[in-house]
A = this chain, B = another copy of it.
């Protein structure tokens, strides 16, 4: 059941523990927060050393005081469990908590993310403090949510983890013979004689068994998820009733968030796009897709847990956000289903790694500051929007972006080892739908297809068990399915499908994939319409196919495979299956997907074309649609959609949208 808050949350991380010697600053912070319409802060995330200064000695009073003061000022609290940064004494007393890296070097205490998620000692200490925090604070009316640890990630190769990995494999495969069969270890005589011989991949050891590498990824993801689960269990065991989340990251590779989302009550995440590096509409689209990934994990509202109110400080070059970008990016989160806009952080640290990271309150500390002013504006917007229920995001189309496929396609050794461009390929499909003003669900290979009119599966190298059967039913029943090159190549252990690819779908697609050509950087081919339409360019990868029942839509224009299919369609049952053979340019996707959307009779919010750079998103409830129109162009952009029956809730709709501006409409359904 979805977690609901009584208002859109606005605020961010706040670390009063770093300012306890500056009482006048703590005072001033609350004044400034209220001025900026801040209603929520996240506390105590990195405060373990303050909360438990010595092993077993807790000091929560400063935190209790702070929560009380915030509450008195109408500010809610998201309460962190402190495992995101561990105290020194923990590593001194229990050295097993320190990670061992892939080269088998035990780390020294430092940084943040270097703890072992298997260590019983570490789990015990985390459980203890979580229970104490729950007992003390869960009932406090200010506390609305538990924030577990911080940006889980990393991997540990210590002996405890090796043993846990072996146990996990034993449970998964039962016998060592089955492991050998699944991983095809006979290659290079790597046959295991017993589970005890299995070691995680290492630059000074095994790097050639792709089945091992893939299962190590699964295990790492599983182990961190289990750690998070145990953290929440500790809260519950102490009687906590408030919901729990942890903050996910932007396109983070090492955790299958689909699995981790299951142990959470609500999904939340941290969004740090690099504004002004690429064209702003592209940056906006990439963030939008990440929002939609987060929303689709549970198909429920989510939280934007962190973002920067100005620059970050850990990229090679930190450009200032141009005026309007923060507001637009904040409202984008809401448009895609977030119930919050939260920043890292309220006040800039005095010293330390992130002392120059953007914050609502600068070291300068006063309110005549551009960033602070913009934060006030965003707070004002959200306060307005909080007065209504904006409903939910619903989608008619889906794009598959699958963690296990990602691990496999990037971990294998095939036609291109420099870059397979998996994310970029998925983004092309996503962007093509978004340019039609469609909401998009970002599902993985295990989720249901039947609720969609169109499903795109770009570069789906690894088919999850049962996937091809699911696609077959979907198309038979009238669905529109799009598959690309290098799909259906391997099974769940990264072993090759025998007898022809795409595995299990040759009849549905009406063709067989034969060879795949990889092009050097700078090389390209052409995709020529067989019906006299446009010609597009493609690069990086060109799959050669042999059609059976499929009709050729485009054919290659160059090389020895000129004239063979570059894109096809195949009627199958009541539906249709499309196959894109090569890494086509964005325009190809745009035109093809517009055509397919028309064939599939997908409903669009505006009949007229949406100008380049403008993004349209919709939230809806039973009666109303809430339409977010955002201009990400650095120039004013003409746009006059059909506004009949629409009411402007925010912004100005006069035929031209200002740079980096948002309009929100309400329209009866």
Please name all residues of chain B whose beta carbon is closer than 8 Å to the beta carbon of A204 when the two chains form the complex: 101, 105, 107-108
Decide: A495 and B85 in contact? CB cutoff 8 A. no
* Known A108-B204, A109-B199, A500-B364; contact A351-B86, beta-carbon cutoff 8 A: no
Apart from the given pairs A82-B189, A210-B352, 18 other A-B contacts in the complex at a CB distance below 8 Å: A15-B187, A18-B184, A53-B191, A108-B204, A108-B206, A111-B207, A210-B351, A211-B351, A313-B415, A316-B417, A316-B418, A318-B414, A320-B515, A351-B496, A353-B413, A355-B495, A364-B514, A370-B514
Please name all residues of chain B whose beta carbon is closer than 8 Å to the beta carbon of A591 when the two chains form the complex: none
Please name all residues of chain B whose beta carbon is closer than 8 Å to the beta carbon of A320 when the two chains form the complex: 515-517, 544, 560
The smallest beta-carbon distance between A278 and chain B, in angstroms, is: 11
The smallest beta-carbon distance between A153 and chain B, in angstroms, is: 15
Q: With A and B bound together, what is the CA distance between A181 and B197 in angstroms?
A: 48
Please name all residues of chain B whose beta carbon is closer than 8 Å to the beta carbon of A560 when the two chains form the complex: 320, 322-323
Decide: A518 and B413 in contact? CB cutoff 8 A. no
Decide: A192 and B496 in contact? CB cutoff 8 A. no
The residue in chain B whose Cβ has the minimal distance to the Cβ of A192 is B88
Interface string of A81-120 (1 = CB under 8 A from B): 0100111110010000000010111011111100000000
Q: With A and B bound together, what is the CA distance between A627 and B519 in angstroms?
A: 35
Decide: B208 and A350 in contact? CB cutoff 8 A. no
Please name all residues of chain B whose beta carbon is closer than 8 Å to the beta carbon of A103 when the two chains form the complex: 105
The smallest beta-carbon distance between A2 and chain B, in angstroms, is: 33
Interface string of A484-504 (1 = CB under 8 A from B): 000000100111111111000
Please name all residues of chain B whose beta carbon is closer than 8 Å to the beta carbon of A316 when the two chains form the complex: 416-418
Q: With A and B bound together, what is the CA distance between A519 and B197 in angstroms?
A: 52
Q: Interface with B: A42-50, A247-255, A421-429, which one?
A: A42-50
The smallest beta-carbon distance between A493 and chain B, in angstroms, is: 7
Interface string of A159-196 (1 = CB under 8 A from B): 00000000000000000000001011111111111000
Q: With A and B bound together, what is the CA distance between A186 and B184 in angstroms?
A: 50
Please name all residues of chain B whose beta carbon is closer than 8 Å to the beta carbon of A596 when the two chains form the complex: none
Q: With A and B bound together, what is the CA distance between A311 and B49 in angstroms?
A: 56
Decide: A190 and B351 in contact? CB cutoff 8 A. no
Decide: A193 and B53 in contact? CB cutoff 8 A. yes
Within 8 A of B (CB), among A552-580: 559-560
Decide: A353 and B111 in contact? CB cutoff 8 A. no
Within 8 A of B (CB), among A205-230: 205-211
The residue in chain B whose Cβ has the minimal distance to the Cβ of A352 is B187
Please name all residues of chain B whose beta carbon is closer than 8 Å to the beta carbon of A500 when the two chains form the complex: 364
Question: A369 near B: Cβ within 8 Å?
Answer: yes
Please name all residues of chain B whose beta carbon is closer than 8 Å to the beta carbon of A202 when the two chains form the complex: 108, 110
State the main secondary structure of chain A at its contact with B. loop
Question: A5 near B: Cβ within 8 Å?
Answer: no
Question: A363 near B: Cβ within 8 Å?
Answer: yes
Question: A349 near B: Cβ within 8 Å?
Answer: yes
Interface string of A301-318 (1 = CB under 8 A from B): 000000000110111111
Please name all residues of chain B whose beta carbon is closer than 8 Å to the beta carbon of A181 when the two chains form the complex: 21
The residue in chain B whose Cβ has the minimal distance to the Cβ of A276 is B520
The smallest beta-carbon distance between A587 and chain B, in angstroms, is: 24
A residues within 8 Å of B by Cβ? 15, 17-18, 21, 46-50, 53-54, 82, 85-89, 92, 101, 103-105, 107-112, 181, 183-193, 197, 199, 202, 204-211, 277, 310-311, 313-320, 322-323, 348-356, 363-365, 369-371, 412-418, 490, 493-501, 512, 514-521, 544, 559-560
Decide: A110 and B207 in contact? CB cutoff 8 A. yes
Q: With A and B bound together, what is the CA distance between A497 and B362 in angstroms?
A: 11
Interchain residue pairs A-B with the least CB separation, the first 4: A108-B205, A187-B352, A184-B351, A110-B206
Please name all residues of chain B whose beta carbon is closer than 8 Å to the beta carbon of A490 when the two chains form the complex: 351
The smallest beta-carbon distance between A315 and chain B, in angstroms, is: 7
The residue in chain B whose Cβ has the minimal distance to the Cβ of A18 is B186
Decide: B191 and A50 in contact? CB cutoff 8 A. yes
* Known A412-B356, A495-B355; contact A88-B197, beta-carbon cutoff 8 A: yes
Decide: A208 and B352 in contact? CB cutoff 8 A. yes
The residue in chain B whose Cβ has the minimal distance to the Cβ of A493 is B351
The smallest beta-carbon distance between A383 and chain B, in angstroms, is: 26
Decide: A50 and B186 in contact? CB cutoff 8 A. yes
Q: With A and B bound together, what is the CA distance between A184 and B352 in angstroms?
A: 6
> Can you give 18 contacting A-B residue pairs, CB < 8 Å?
A49-B186, A53-B191, A86-B189, A87-B191, A88-B197, A103-B105, A108-B202, A187-B349, A187-B355, A209-B352, A210-B352, A313-B414, A318-B518, A322-B560, A350-B495, A350-B496, A356-B412, A363-B496
Decide: A188 and B85 in contact? CB cutoff 8 A. yes
Please name all residues of chain B whose beta carbon is closer than 8 Å to the beta carbon of A105 when the two chains form the complex: 103, 204
Q: With A and B bound together, what is the CA distance between A15 and B190 in angstroms?
A: 14
Q: With A and B bound together, what is the CA distance between A412 and B318 in angstroms?
A: 14
The smallest beta-carbon distance between A590 and chain B, in angstroms, is: 27
Decide: A319 and B520 in contact? CB cutoff 8 A. yes
* Known A204-B108, A354-B413; contact A319-B517, beta-carbon cutoff 8 A: yes
A111 touches which one: B46, B48, B206, B413 (CB < 8 A)? B206
Please name all residues of chain B whose beta carbon is closer than 8 Å to the beta carbon of A190 when the two chains form the complex: 49, 85, 88, 110, 352
Q: With A and B bound together, what is the CA distance between A107 and B519 in angstroms?
A: 36
The smallest beta-carbon distance between A27 and chain B, in angstroms, is: 15
Please name all residues of chain B whose beta carbon is closer than 8 Å to the beta carbon of A187 when the two chains form the complex: 15, 18, 46, 349, 351-355
Please name all residues of chain B whose beta carbon is closer than 8 Å to the beta carbon of A352 when the two chains form the complex: 184-185, 187-188, 190, 208-210
Please name all residues of chain B whose beta carbon is closer than 8 Å to the beta carbon of A87 when the two chains form the complex: 189, 191, 193
Q: With A and B bound together, what is the CA distance between A111 and B212 in angstroms?
A: 13
* Known A316-B416, A319-B517; contact A107-B355, beta-carbon cutoff 8 A: no
The smallest beta-carbon distance between A111 and chain B, in angstroms, is: 5
Decide: A353 and B188 in contact? CB cutoff 8 A. yes
Please name all residues of chain B whose beta carbon is closer than 8 Å to the beta carbon of A211 when the two chains form the complex: 351
Q: With A and B bound together, what is the CA distance between A354 and B514 in angstroms?
A: 18
* Known A108-B104, A110-B202; contact A356-B414, beta-carbon cutoff 8 A: yes
